[in-house]
Amino acid sequence: MDIQLLEGEFNSNEALELIVKMIDIKIKFHESKICNSHQEEDIKSRENKIKKLQKSLYEIRVFLNTKTNNVTLESSIHIQ
């Protein structure tokens, strides 16, 4: 089963807004799991995932700041 989340052209501000919100949801998910976890290994793994998401967000901000044209976003979830 596939769920199409994003598909289309957006100006850089709109694209960044969508991406920020999606990444923020994922970060909050990991933060909530950290708060409920008592396993140090799980906590460290989730902290690393959060750091990677934050780094990706920084990189996409830099990239989109260079764009003057619209950008195409495509995102889907594939469930097996």
Per-residue pLDDT in tens (0 to 9) along the chain, 80 residues? 999 999 999 999 999 999 999 999 999 999 999 999 889 999 999 999 999 999 999 999 999 999 989 999 999 999 99
Structure tokens, 75: 């995102």
Structure tokens, 52: 């990677």
pLDDT at 79: 95
Q: With respect to residue 11, please indicate whether it lies within any of the assigned structural domains.
A: yes
Q: With respect to residue 37, please indicate whether it lies within any of the assigned structural domains.
A: yes
Q: With respect to residue 79, please indicate whether it lies within any of the assigned structural domains.
A: no
Range of the domain at 29: 2-68
User: Which residue, 72, 45, 2, is CA-closest to 53?
Assistant: 45
pTM confidence score: 0.87
> Which residues pair with residue 2 across a beta bridge?
78
pLDDT at 37: 86
Number of structural domains (the chain) is 1
pLDDT at 32: 96
CB 16 within 8 A of CB 35: no
